[in-house]
Structure 1
């Protein structure tokens, strides 16, 4: 009887080993469920299309008929294409102006919200964030109406101030169309960064501001000497997002001007979109080559931000 009992009862070490194997199995199952689906989605919908676009960039192909391999010919054509350089120039203008104004305005508004005890602070946060709730289509149509020549709000305000612009259509003139898009883009992006910067500023100890006030520091001194250095990492990430967004984004331009008049507001993303899906002219291979150039520019911009915008924040 004792022998049977000895045979049927596993050793404690064996039980521990079985328990360890079970724990390892559960761990690997959890890792598989947690990692494989999102990583597989990234490979399928992001990495694979990007790799495939490198191959497409070497083809003369409209997306329907048989493709012809042309090697690096599309890249040579892109570098000689004056419309590519015109679009990149417009992108450069947006890349400099839009992030600059968005970050400066957002910092000032966030500082006022966090350092001024206004009763309306919560309402102001919602008000500033409201443009981000709207879709890009709504924002573009709203500002297109503001710039309208016949019923536009801007011409009405100018007329009230004694400046009669007549039926001047701001988006229909080559000299004003590009500059007119910047306020719309800035207005649509400020609200999000106001919330981001305000939350970052709430983490700064009040004692630093109190000590600065005792030393006689004004609001601008506190903003530039205390607030901005302590939220520098947040500013850096925000600048990166804004630069990438202005280089890639074209939806608001597509709706407001569609690159016109006469290409005066065309950007590289819109130009690439029209090359790939245009009605009169369609060359998916050439559009992919332009996309590769845009990819190189985005990587370069990211490296420049890493180099010239400090990554380390100040300790307190």
Structure 2
């Protein structure tokens, strides 16, 4: 006896076919969306890092036949006093640049957001301007400021009765390392002012109004309301600044080339000179320094996680 097929039975194969087609389209989209990015990461990030591990076991200048020397480069690294001197400079910038950038950015962002100044958008663009400039332009600008003969800094000090007598701030071992600090801070503050201002505008004004009624001043509101509510953003900013400071070499390369007498040398610049220097070209030893820098970066990330735990506040 034949059975009657209902409308639901007739539409079931069509619905199943549509679901299968949608599933296939989804996987095609995911493939084209993920594969290029993941392939680029494998090709330009993971593969070079794995290759650097292999290079760090070689005595090789990039031209002659490489010689496998096992861990001799690492033994040389730990006995190289110039590496530890450069690491000390890195640690100095790591401890000062993020703190200065975040504190200045927080204070200026709070004032621009809560003081009601006219032209806030103009100030935001003005502070962000250094981030539009290339590192070369920033470096040359500050090199001119520190110039002994025509520098703006010496001219400004002379107005206040301090004659530096042609002192070149980047050419003296006593001042060169400290003179590199302001360009780092000046070039980084603008971006974080914009980021912090955008975060502060999302905080309900009722919280500030309630604090004002209770007699809280600006510093109390900043440290009791604003900073706790944007702590996750400050934590991420600190991570970016710490890791960026440890890896950076371009600004110092243009300003001082690590001089005078190595007083501004950093790990990244020392590694660059080992690989592409005019007198020394040793890719194997430079790769070992790169692996050492990688370990330091991981340690710095863990240190920031320890000092700034990932906890936020709700309102």
Same fold (TM over 0.5): yes
Residue 153 of structure 1 is matched in structure 2 by 152
Alpha-carbon distance in structure 2 between the residues aligned to 1:274 and 1:200:
41
SS in 1 for 2:180: helix
Residue 69 of structure 2 is matched in structure 1 by 70
Residue 163 of structure 1 is matched in structure 2 by 162
Per the TM alignment, residue 27 of structure 1 is displaced from its structure 2 partner at its CA by 1.1
Alpha-carbon distance in structure 2 between the residues aligned to 1:66 and 1:53:
17
Alpha-carbon distance in structure 1 between the residues aligned to 2:155 and 2:173:
21
Q: How many residues align?
A: 308
Residue 142 of structure 1 is matched in structure 2 by 141
Residue 59 of structure 1 is matched in structure 2 by 58
Per the TM alignment, residue 11 of structure 1 is displaced from its structure 2 partner at its CA by 4.9
Alpha-carbon distance in structure 1 between the residues aligned to 2:11 and 2:263:
80
Alpha-carbon distance in structure 1 between the residues aligned to 2:26 and 2:124:
43
Per the TM alignment, residue 283 of structure 1 is displaced from its structure 2 partner at its CA by 0.2
Residue 131 of structure 2 is matched in structure 1 by 132
After TM superposition, the structure 1 = structure 2 runs for residues 194-213 of structure 1, keeping only pairs within 5 Å, are 194-213=193-212
Cα RMSD over matched residues? 1.2
Alpha-carbon distance in structure 2 between the residues aligned to 1:247 and 1:145:
25
CA contact (8 A) 1:232 1:310 kept: no
Alpha-carbon distance in structure 1 between the residues aligned to 2:156 and 2:258:
27
SS in 2 for 1:84: helix
Unaligned runs of 5+ in 2: none
Residue 3 of structure 1 is matched in structure 2 by none
CA contact (8 A) 1:103 1:190 kept: yes
SS in 1 for 2:70: coil
CA contact (8 A) 1:276 1:283 kept: yes
CA contact (8 A) 1:59 1:68 kept: yes
**Deviation readout 1:250-273 (Å, 9 max, x if unpaired):** 100000000000100000000000
Per the TM alignment, residue 16 of structure 1 is displaced from its structure 2 partner at its CA by 2.7
Find out whether 1:30 has 2:29 as its counterpart: yes
TM-score, normalization by structure 1: 0.96
After TM superposition, the structure 1 = structure 2 runs for residues 190-229 of structure 1, keeping only pairs within 5 Å, are 190-229=189-228
Unaligned runs of 5+ in 1: 1-5
Residue 267 of structure 2 is matched in structure 1 by 268
